[in-house]
């Protein structure tokens, strides 16, 4: 004899959690994972950075080892090349950044003028949050 479907549904209702409760449990789990990641970021971040650097520099290390350069010396060469690249990029970017920073005070009024069409709807919608209009 077949059981009526209502009996099976009742059993499922008793054992299964309500979808809203399942969503709240998953929200609690995800938020606790985010909190744990935030709290341990000072410890975990250097390890993540080291793993990413290893993955990026591993092919170049293999090439240098293929040229019969010892692994330690090849690693030191790659680290020096990485730091040299960072310093070189910083040097190249610092000149244009300095001129851009010098032009910034005169560019702010032009930027405010160009974005005035955005400011009006914001002032009308929520004037308390953003305060009175500057212009």
Check the CA dihedral 97-103-109-111 and report its sign. Answer: negative
Question: Is a pLDDT exceeding 80 seen at residue 123?
Answer: no
Q: What was the pLDDT predicted at 3?
A: 52
Angle at 69 between CA 65 and CA 71, to 5 degrees: 65
> Residue 17: pLDDT band by 50, 70, 90 thresholds?
low
d(CA 16, CA 124): 49
CB atoms near residue 74 (< 10 Å): 20
d(CA 110, CA 80): 43
Token pair 């008793």 is found at 14
d(CA 46, CA 82): 17
Q: The pTM is what? A: 0.51
Q: What was the pLDDT predicted at 124?
A: 74
Q: What was the pLDDT predicted at 2?
A: 56
């Amino acid at each position: 004899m077949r059981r009526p479907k209502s009996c099976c549904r009742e059993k499922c209702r008793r054992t299964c959690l309500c979808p809203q409760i399942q969503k709240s449990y998953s929200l609690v789990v995800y938020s606790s994972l985010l909190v744990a990641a935030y709290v341990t970021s000072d410890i975990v971040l250097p390890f993540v950075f080291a793993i990413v650097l290893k993955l990026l520099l591993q092919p170049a290390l293999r090439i240098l080892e293929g040229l019969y350069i010892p692994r330690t010396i090849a690693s030191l060469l790659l680290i020096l090349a990485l730091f040299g690249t960072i310093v070189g990029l910083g040097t190249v970017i610092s000149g244009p950044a300095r001129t851009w920073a010098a032009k910034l005070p005169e560019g702010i009024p032009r930027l405010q003028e160009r974005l005035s069409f955005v400011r009006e709807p914001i002032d009308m919608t929520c004037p308390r949050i953003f305060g009175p209009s500057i212009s």
